[in-house]
Amino acid sequence: MLYFQAPALLQTSFWELIKTSQPIPLTVLALLVILSILSWTIIFSKWATLSGARKANRQFLRAFRKANGLEAVALASEQFRTAPLVAVFDFGYSEIDRQVKSRGTVVNKLALERSLQLGISEEIARLERNMNWLATTATVSPFIGLFGTVWGIIDAFQALGLAGATSMRAVAPGIAEALVTTALGLAAAIPAAVFYNLFGNSLRELGARMEDFSLEFMNMAERVYGD
């Protein structure tokens, strides 16, 4: 019976600990919970965004390579708006359209290359949005937990001094608060750090794909509008 009662006792003890916590440890706990919820929200959102971007990139790239010209690609691109490559294509195609309307052909290849680079930068900035929150959570959460730990130990020693004798009953609440804040700090920091690195690798891969695509775009532009 003790085996089945242990989880319920642990849960009861945890909530009793929360109810009896002092304002500062309670604030530390609340802040760590908020950071953890925020980081997991960003993780799920970023995972979906990057997964969708990779899939849409593959589909758009197949359509791009099968197309006979940039106009056909422009029409097909409407189906793949979530693809970062489409945004890069739009920057390049807009620059080609301006040059063709004013001079009849593409004469300034350097301007076209700069437009493609601007498109890549814009997309990388968009995909990196909110990544700083993951980095902040991974960096700050352990220190917030450490602050809660130090505060809990201070409370434990104060309770020990007031008790006038060595007693587990006197020091246990402070030590328990210290351990809980340490655990929550690590629970918030570790997933944020892991997924920050994973997403960073994915973003570098997407950036490399966009750089390669810009070369393919330049090749197609030279075939269509070259002398």
Q: How far apart are CA 8 and CA 18, in angstroms?
A: 15
Record the pTM: 0.80
pLDDT of 78: 87
* 6 lies in some domain: no
Contact between 210 and 84 (Cβ < 8 Å) = yes
Residues near 178 by Cβ (< 8 Å), separated by ≥ 6? 148, 149, 150, 151, 152, 153, 156
Q: How far apart are CA 211 and CA 86, in angstroms?
A: 13
pLDDT above 80: residue 39: yes
pLDDT above 90: residue 178: no
* Mean pLDDT of all residues in 173-196: 84
Q: How far apart are CA 227 and CA 224, in angstroms?
A: 9
**The dihedral of CA 117, 123, 129, 134: what is its sign?**
negative
Structure tokens given for 160: 């020990």
* 11 lies in some domain: no
* 39 lies in some domain: yes
| φ, ψ at 108 (rounded to 5°) | -115, 85
pLDDT of 24: 75
Range of the domain at 40: 21-225
Q: How far apart are CA 67 and CA 143, in angstroms?
A: 54
Q: Residue 134 corresponds to which amino acid?
A: L
pLDDT above 70: residue 164: no
Q: How far apart are CA 179 and CA 152, in angstroms?
A: 8
* 176 lies in some domain: yes
The owner of tokens 């390579």 is: 65
* 185 lies in some domain: yes
pLDDT above 60: residue 170: no
Q: How far apart are CA 153 and CA 136, in angstroms?
A: 26
* 157 lies in some domain: yes
* 8 lies in some domain: no
* 10 lies in some domain: no
The CA-to-CA distance between both ends of the chain, in Å, stands at: 86
Structure tokens given for 112: 């076209």
Select the more confidently predicted residue: 5 or 95: 95
When divided into structural domains, the chain yields a total of 1
pLDDT of 226: 65
Contact between 131 and 196 (Cβ < 8 Å) = yes
Count the Cβ atoms, other than its own, within 10 Å of residue 73.
20
